[in-house]
Amino acid sequence: MHSLSLRSKIILLSVLSVLFILIYQFIFIDMKFFDYAMYIRTPKLLAIIIAAFCIGYASMIFQSIINNRIVTPCLLGMNSLYILIHTSIVFFLGGTSIFATNNKIAFVTDVILMGILATTIYGFLFKKTKHNMLYILLSGSVFATFFTSVSNTMVRVMDPNEYDTMLSDLVAGFDHVNAELLTMAVALIIITIVLFYKEIKLLDIISLGKNQAINLGVNYDTTITKLLIGVTFLITIATALVGPISFLGLIIANLSRELFKTYKHSYLMLGSFLMGIIVLLLGQILIEHVFGFSTQISVFINLFGGAYFLYLIFKNKGLN
C-alpha cells in the first residue's frame, strides 16, 4: 500500500466503499420484497454516508486545529454537550412541545444551540490553554463529565414517558433514521462547506503551527474560530441525525493518516470520509445479518475505538 500514489489510494478506497455500499444494499434480499427492502435500506445508507462525511471531515479539521492526532471533538465532550442540550429542551419545554415533536424544528434547534454553545465554550478553552494538549484533554474531560452529570440529573427527575420518547435520539444507530431530515442535513452540510471553504483550504498551513501560519500571512485566530464553528456544525448534523458515536472520528481520521502519510488535507479528509463509509457499513452489516439487530453500532465503535485510542497513546502516536 505504501508504494501506491495518493491518487491510487483514493481510487482503491473509493472502490472498496462502493463495494460495501452494494453489499449492504443488496445482500440477502428476497426479490418479492425488493421495493420494501430498498425503502428500508436506502435512508440508512444515506444517513451512513452523511455521518461518515461529517465526522470524518470534522475530526480531521479539529486535529489540525490543535495539531494532535488523539483528540477529536467527541473526546472533548461535544457529544455530551449535544445530549445535555437535547435533554434540556425536553426537560424545560416538555416532550409535547413543538421543539421536541417536530423533527425539523428540533433538528435546526439542536444545530443552532450546539453551534453557539460549543464555539463559545471550546473557543474560550483553546485561548485560555494556548492550545496546550494536556490542559485541553483535562479540561475536555471535565466538561464531558459535567455535561453528563447535569443531563443525568435531569433524566432522574424527568417524566418517564418523556424520557422514553427522547431515548432513541440519544443512542447512536441507523435503525431509526428520519428520512425527512436527510435533505435538510445535506443542505446544511453544503452551506457549511461553502461558508468555510476558504478556511478549509488553509489547513495545510494551519497544521504547521501558529507562528508559521502567521508568518505566511494567515489571520490565525479568526481562521481557527471559523474552523471551530464549521466543526461544531458538522458534528451536530451527524449527531442529531444518527445519535452520538464517540470514537468513530478517532478511528477513521487516524486510519486515513496511517494510509496516506501526507500533509495534504484534501487527501486526508477524503480518505477519512471513505474510511468512515467502510467502517460504518461493515458494522451495520454485522448488526443486521450476524447479530440480528440485538445491539447498536455504537457498541462496536466504542469498543474498538477505545482500544485503538489506548494503542495510539502507548505507541506515542498521539503526541505529534
pLDDT in tens, 170-195: 666 777 777 788 999 999 999 999 99
The CA–CA distances, whole Å, from 103 to 10, 88, 126 equal 36, 16, 33
Cell readout for 126 is: 483553546
Query: What's the confidence (pLDDT) of residue 69?
Result: 81
Residue 307 exposed, middle or buried by CB count within 10 Å (0-12, 13-18, 19+): exposed
Cell readout for 113 is: 444551540
What is the full per-residue pLDDT of the chain (320 aa) written as tens digits?
556 888 999 999 999 999 999 999 998 887 888 888 898 889 999 999 999 999 999 999 988 888 888 878 877 788 888 888 888 888 888 777 888 778 888 888 888 888 888 888 887 887 787 767 677 778 888 888 899 899 989 888 888 877 777 776 666 677 777 778 899 999 999 999 999 999 999 999 998 888 899 898 889 888 988 898 899 889 888 888 888 887 899 899 999 999 998 989 999 999 999 999 999 999 899 888 888 777 788 888 888 888 888 888 777 644 44
Query: In angstroms, how far is CA 301 from the centroid of its own chain?
Result: 12
Give the long-range contacts of residues 311-316, CB within 8 A, separation 24 or more.
312/69, 312/70, 312/250, 312/254, 313/70
Helix (H) or strand (E) segment spanning residue 273:
helix 265-289
Instruction: Tell me the torsion sign for CA atoms 252, 258, 259, 265.
Output: positive
* Dist. CA 267–CA 128, nearest whole Å: 32
* Dist. CA 154–CA 94, nearest whole Å: 12
pTM for this structure? Answer: 0.89
* Chain segment 228-244, per-residue pLDDT in tens: 889 988 988 888 888 88
Cβ contacts of 187 within 8 Å, gap of 6 or more: none
- Amino acid symbol at 139: S
